[in-house]
Amino acid sequence: MQLIAFRVFNHRHYGTKLRGNNDKDYIGSLKFENTGITMGYEELFPPANMAWSGHAAKRFGSPFVDVFTDRIDVDPIILSHAAVATGYTIRDFYEKPELGIHCVSYISEMYDLLPVTHWFFSLPWVTELGLTLEYKETLPPISTGPIISEPEEVDKLEVASMSDLRKGWTYPMYKRIYDYVGANLAQTLVPISYGFDLVGAPGELCGVENLIMWTFTDPDVVDKLIDVYVDTSVNGAKCMAEDFGFAMLIVGSVLANNDIFDDASVEKFSAKKMRDYVNKSFRGGAGPQLFYHFCGNHETSYKVFKDNLVWSPLTVTHIGYSGQNVFPSDVLRQEFENVTTCMGSVDTKLMINPNPVKVYEQSKEQLLKGRDSKKGYILGSSCECPPYTIPGCMHAMVKAAQDYGTYGTW
Amino acid sequence: MVSYENKAILEERGIKESDVEEVIASGTKIKNGASDVLSKKRIGDVTYYAMANGDVVKTAYSHKMSVGAVVNVQSDSDWVCLKCNEAAKEGTADVEYMGVSRSGPAIVCPKCGDAWVEEYLATKTVAVAEGLFEAKRA
């Protein structure tokens, strides 16, 4: 199936549509071809363990309210691994988001992880700005263009309004997902709006190579392109806040990292834009929860964030790598513990290495470096855990949190 | 003697006129380019704000979190601290509620270290955060 979007500039209407021959079959249910039986996704899972949910929710809240529970929480950023571990495919996870998010909830209980259900991919809102996305068997949806190939075209690109977004593809999908969670997994419901990668997603609109080149040749064009994406994402957050009363914001600096940009460019094109995104979203009623995700290499660029970002009372900050190594939790703590809960990283590469003790040792090292963070600590992976993560490796992360995930010396 | 542009908002937000008048009379103040003066005062366990232009109160709001020391000073704002006659900035300040200390966005004076929470934050972001703290600490 392919999602087709039409980009039309200069105040003309644009819209999105799904093209496929079985659209109705997968909206909210699964059809078994051999029997013709259709089951709602919620019927595919045993009931949630509410005692676990209650305890996990307390544990999740503990770093924010200083009421410590049994141990530090673990959030390996599970996405399509949840579908794979439940017997579905990577494509199922993205193509059937209600199924995907139910898998996340179910698998989080199985592994004893942070209990907030989430579902996302890195390109929200781009269909409303003209890109076509295509589902793939082993990847999240990818862009097939059409890209903006000339800097002059950027001037014609318009912010998608709240009304545009409500008629588009991304927002109705998220609305559907959280309506499903509210109806079936209410104990895990935290409506989340994704600004996600405020440089990477605009990069897809014009092609990443063009974006990088334009940062040197036409920086004002890059500014404008990012601003359009930021303001569209803000409107997405405002829709979510309007419908659900609040909206956690997840925003990151992924493409803007030290493998590609110097610190000044990360500050200009990423940190300051994230500030703008959060400020405007807060003004629209979104927040108060914030998750900053700095994936990729932030060996020196981590220093540009503290004095540029908005810090709410319920903020988590996560950094993936320093060079080729996981970002050390003691540096994370030193830089950010006064303003945010810190989320340390275990290298995602280790999660597919059939050597759980390596995961255990690295988890232990990060926990010991980060667990005394003033505003709490969460053990994460450096980015999304791989779809084929070895369950034994996941267990090693959790076991390390059980053994060393205490706050202070208790 | 003050008059009110929108008295209904006081009732909606559970704010007494006497508190508004006390805030205006003795609160700390910042002023923006449109000559709006935002006054702030902690009365009991609540921080009250009143924004007035001349003798007309345009809005009033409150939050329960207490605002503490400035954590960092970030970008320019439209406000000037009237105590120091210094440009106030957007920044981050410590906030405390129910014994929990966290950080929050605020307008801060780099000179005297005072901090003010704007209306959109107090009535939405901070209000939801206070509710979550109350639920989690319960």
Cβ pair A311:B125 closer than 8 A: no
Residue B18, both tokens? 């006497």
**Domain encompassing residue B30:** 3-137
Contacts of B125 in chain A (CB under 8 A): 282, 287-288, 312
Determine the Cα–Cα distance for residues A64 and A116; give it in Å rounded to an integer.
Answer: 15
pLDDT value at residue A30: 67
DSSP per-residue string spanning chain B: --EES-THHHHHTT--HHHHHHHHHHSEEEE-TT--EEEEEEETTEEEEEEEETTEEEEEEEESSEEEEEEEEEEEEEEEETTTTEEEEEEEEEEEETTEEEEEEEEE-TTT--EE--HHIIIIIHHHHHHHHHHHH-
Give the residue-averaged pLDDT of A273-286: 96
ipTM of this predicted structure: 0.91
pLDDT of residue B115: 97
**In B, which residues are within 8 Å of A308 by CB distance?**
74
Q: Could you give the 3-state DSSP secondary structure of residue A226?
A: helix
When pLDDT is averaged across residues A121-125 and rounded to a whole number, the result is 94
Please indicate whether, in this complex, the C-beta atoms of A288 and B129 are within 8 angstroms of each other. Answer: yes
Q: For the CA atoms of A364, A190, B132, B8, what is the dihedral angle to 10 degrees?
A: 160
Higher pLDDT, A62 or A210: A210
pLDDT reported for residue B138: 67
Report angle CA B5, B8, B12 to the nearest 5 degrees: 135
Pairing, β A2-5 against β A133-134: antiparallel
Look at phi and psi of residue A77 and say left if phi exceeds 0, alpha if psi is from -120 to 50, else beta: left
Type of residue found at A286: A
Q: Which residues of A touch B95 (CB under 8 A)?
A: 313
Of the two residues B1 and A70, the one the predictor is more confident about is A70
Query: For A209-254, how does the pLDDT look when each residue is reduced to its tens digit (9 = 90+)?
Result: 999 999 999 999 999 999 999 999 999 999 999 999 999 999 999 9
Among A26-35, A55-64, B12-21, the least confident range: A26-35
Verify whether the Cβ–Cβ distance A313 to B128 is below 8 Å. no
User: Could you give the CA distance from residue B138 to residue B136 in angstroms, rounded to a whole number?
Assistant: 5
In A33-170 the beta strands, taken as DSSP E runs, fall at 38-40, 73-75, 133-134, 142-143
What pLDDT is recorded for position A203?
Answer: 97
Count Cβ–Cβ pairs < 8 Å, chain A vs chain B: 76
- Other beta carbons within 10 Å of A403: 13
**Can you tell me the distance from the alpha carbon of A405 to that of A409, in angstroms, rounded to the nearest whole number?**
10
- Single out the residue of B77, B109, B112, B72 nearest to residue B92, CA to CA: B72
Half-sphere exposure for A40 (CA within 13 Å, toward CB): 7
* Exposure on the CB side of residue A164, measured as CA atoms within 13 A: 25
Q: Which of B98, B99, B104 sits opposite A311 (nearest CB)?
A: B104
- In 3D, which of A196, A203, A193 has the Cα closest to residue A171? A193
The yes-or-no verdict on residue A22 having pLDDT over 80 is no
For the full predicted model, state whether its pTM sits above 0.90: yes
Q: Are A159 and A11 in contact (CB under 8 A)?
A: no
Q: Which residue has the higher pLDDT, A17 or A122?
A: A122
Q: Looking at the partner chain, which of A61, A288, A375 has a beta carbon nearest the beta carbon of B125? A: A288
In DSSP terms, A133 is beta-bridged to A3, A143
**Residue among B65, B102, B125 whose CB faces A287 most closely:** B125
How many domains does one find in chain B? 1
**What is the distance between the alpha carbons of residues A129 and A7, in angstroms, rounded to a whole number?**
6
In three-state secondary structure terms, A230 is helix
Best A66, A275, A281, A305 residue to mutate vs chain B (most B CBs within 10 Å): A66
| Distance from the A288 Cα atom to the nearest Cα atom in chain B, whole angstroms | 5
SS3 (DSSP) at A379: strand
- Across A35-39, A59-63, A382-386, A387-391, least confident range: A35-39
Q: What are phi and psi of B93, to 5 degrees?
A: -130, 155
Per-residue model confidence as pLDDT tens digits over A134-189: 999 999 999 999 999 999 999 999 999 999 999 999 999 999 999 999 999 999 99
**What three-state secondary structure class fits A137?**
coil
- The upper half-sphere exposure of residue A365, i.e. CA atoms within 13 Å in the direction of its Cβ, equals 14
Asked whether the beta carbons of A320 and A327 are under 8 A apart, the reply is: yes
Given a cut of 90, is residue A66 above it in pLDDT? no
Tell me the residue type at B72. N
Mean pLDDT across A79-107: 97
Q: For residues A274-301, give the mean pLDDT.
A: 96
CB B74 within 8 A of CB B20: no
Q: What pLDDT, on the 0 to 100 scale, is given for residue A31?
A: 66
Instruction: List the one residue out of A387, A402, A319 whose CA is nearest residue A84.
Output: A387
Residue ranges in chain B whose pLDDT is less than 50: none
**What is the distance between the alpha carbons of residues B135 and B125, in angstroms, rounded to a whole number?**
15
In this prediction, what percent of chain A has a pLDDT beyond 70?
Answer: 91
> Three-class SS of residue A274?
helix
Closest Cβ–Cβ partner in A245, A307, A312 for B105: A312
Confidence of residue A28 (pLDDT cuts 50, 70, 90): low
SS3 A250: strand
